[in-house]
């Protein structure tokens, strides 16, 4: 039975697609057969971050409309045998997706033996975002530690609790908080909300804290999800988040300011 994970947020630009790509890669690396779907019809960025933009022939909307079958549209990742990408359409509008069409695609993926289906949601509360979360078993809510991002994510939590298939059946979508662009130094200076602040406002367990890191942008531009950069703190943080999603307990790293030792202070290290 495939587990459907929606990666969502109330605000744009917080790192949803970066997170979707890294989480999908991490799950595949852990041996799970994984599909990642771009629900952002009209914009389409997931294929760029996954490095497969030149291989898109058929997209999600083509499959929903019956213009192509799932096997024609799924792009097999070159790095992992068990990872597949379903790109969004750049030429259709948000209304091109239907609940029935999305449900059929997800069912067909489950029938193909996928362990995880990661749904990369557009920002906000329009139709694409609603459809991305409607069938979810769990949600990774991506938040930057700033007031506007946290407030907008609070609205998303309200929708997850009331507008999903699980909610209609009297169940709850399992929710996780993923903090991105976290800077312990700025938290210490009072310029950024702390992990505890965000947790208190949203009432969610933290599945990962991704530090502010230049490698995130560099990796995205290179079409390589940052989780594959094992030397990068951001890559390591996403690896930890995937492990926690799979039930492993790991200490939360990159959450405190590194104190310089005596010799570092002396010699400017």
Please check if 208 is assigned to a binding site: no
The token duo for 146 is 């700033």
Which residue carries 């991305």 as its tokens? 132
Please check if 11 is assigned to a binding site: yes
Please check if 12 is assigned to a binding site: yes
- Residues 73, 166: contact at Cβ < 8 Å? no
Closest CA to 232 of 243, 218, 246: 218
Half-sphere exposure of 235 (CA within 13 A, CB side): 16
Helix boundaries (H) for the chain: 16-29, 46-49, 60-64, 70-73, 99-111, 127-134, 147-162, 165-168, 184-188, 195-202, 214-222, 233-245, 262-267
**What single string gives the DSSP state of each residue in 179-212?**
EEEE-HHHHHTTSS--HHHHHHHH---EEEEEEP
CA 201, 164, 56, 75 dihedral sign is positive
Please check if 18 is assigned to a binding site: yes
Please check if 15 is assigned to a binding site: yes
Please check if 14 is assigned to a binding site: yes
Which residue carries 């909610």 as its tokens? 167
Q: 143: Cβ–Cβ under 8 A, 6 or more apart, which residues?
A: 9, 14, 149, 150, 153, 177, 178, 179, 180, 198, 202
Task: Give the annotated binding-site residues.
Answer: 11-18
Task: Give the annotated binding-site residues for ATP.
Answer: 11-18
């Amino acid at each position: 039975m495939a587990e459907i994970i929606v990666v969502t947020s109330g605000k744009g630009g917080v790192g949803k697609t970066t997170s979707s790509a890294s989480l999908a890669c991490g799950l595949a690396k852990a041996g799970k057969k994984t599909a990642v779907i771009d629900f952002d019809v009209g914009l389409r960025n997931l294929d760029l971050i996954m490095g497969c933009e030149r291989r898109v022939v058929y997209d999600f909307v083509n499959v929903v409309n019956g213009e192509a079958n799932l096997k024609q549209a799924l792009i097999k990742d070159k790095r992992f045998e068990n990872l597949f990408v379903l790109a969004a359409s750049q030429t259709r509008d948000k209304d091109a997706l239907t609940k029935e069409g999305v449900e059929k695609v997800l069912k067909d993926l489950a029938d193909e033996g996928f362990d995880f289906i990661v749904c990369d949601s557009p920002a906000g509360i329009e139709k694409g975002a609603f459809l991305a979360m409607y069938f979810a078993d769990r949600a990774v809510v991506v938040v930057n530690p700033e007031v506007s991002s946290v407030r907008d994510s609070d609205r998303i939590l309200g929708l997850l609790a009331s507008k999903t298939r699980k909610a209609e059946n009297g169940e709850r979508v399992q929710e996780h908080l993923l903090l991105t662009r976290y800077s312990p130094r700025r938290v210490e200076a009072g310029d950024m909300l702390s992990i505890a602040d965000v947790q208190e406002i949203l009432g969610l367990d933290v599945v990962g804290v991704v530090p502010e890191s230049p490698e995130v942008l560099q990796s995205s531009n290179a079409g390589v999800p940052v989780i594959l950069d094992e030397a990068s703190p951001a890559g390591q943080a996403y690896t930890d988040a995937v492990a926690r999603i799979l039930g492993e307990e790991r200490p939360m790293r990159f959450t405190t300011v590194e104190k310089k030792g005596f010799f570092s202070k002396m010699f400017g290290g």
